[in-house]
Structure 1
Amino acid sequence: MDGYDAFSAGVEPGGLRNRNEIKVLIAFLLKNTERGLSRRQLMEVIQREGLANYFEASQALESLIEGGSVEVDKSDDDELLSLTKAGKTAANIEDELPRAVRDKALATAEELLKQERRMKETPVEIIPLENGCNVKFTFNDLMTLTLYVADMEQAQSVRDKILADPESLYSAVIEQLM
């Protein structure tokens, strides 16, 4: 696909600057994720890695929806996007995208979905206190742990580390106690 016809603000080197390539990227992501993506998740994947300009990606998605290549399932709280038969045909030209873009997009989507699944399965609550915060973590009804930290910044850091690998934290605590 020749020529740049899309805005490049926020696009990292190697990212997409062609509107048709952005549409192919969207179709590629929807085709290759386990259960599809919501609009929010799709835009987050594209923005997190600077794969395309936000406004161009939003416009490309709307164009795919209006053209009948993508459908929106409103039964889900997050409006899950999926490819129609026509969209699956468009996804078949994914080889037009640079391999690095495809790999980066798919890895980012998988990481985002894994992170969101962990957040649902492993609730971590930050409870503001007068002098600091408590971070409360529950792991599969097996363990509840509350940690005191000095401020909100530390609480968010602890939450992020817990969510990065909750199984390891649980294993380490059990190992120390046994």
Structure 2
Amino acid sequence: MPIPDQPTYFEAQEAAHFYAAQGAFFLVDPARLHHLMGDDLLSSDLIRTLTRKSYPHDAYREGTIVPALGVEQGHYTVTVRSTQTENAPLPLSHMLFSTGFVLGTETGNLLLANTDRLQHWSPGQLPDGQEEHPLSSYERTIHISPGWYQVTVVAGILDNDQGSEEEWVCAFLLDPQPSQPTFTADLAKTLTF
């Protein structure tokens, strides 16, 4: 099935209290990633595969995976939002961003994953020896409209006027595109406060 040339409206998706294991989140289309990289991908160390080369890996260039690299370790509210349907900016302080990422999805069925999930790539299953943690500690399911997107990744602290505990936020801002955009992201840029 080809990727549609015009994504339609989708509700903002949110994963609350998601842990940034080893300082990263990844938005992944598992079906396209499997198609691109083959059967050997399952149960492999995807982090090692993605960092093996000094130039951006095909998985990034082809829009099967979008990283949020270098976020502080801790629990975040992670959102996936369309720039076409979300007109209110996130009220963040200490905001950092990284631009130029690409995402393409035929189905709209994505995984939000942390580094622990990618070190033993087996979507939908707990990593070996980690049965004491729920699956939601490693991955969350995200549903968006199928299509191509230019992606900006933002990290910051949610402004809270009530004086309660600060909330860390990581957002994947998806800008719908009629065709596959060019990957221009700098993978050396981190979102460290």
More helix by share: 1
- The higher relative CO (CA closer than 8 Å, separation ≥ 6) is in 2
Q: Same fold (TM over 0.5)?
A: no
More strand by share: 2
TM-score (norm 2): 0.21
TM-score (norm 1): 0.22
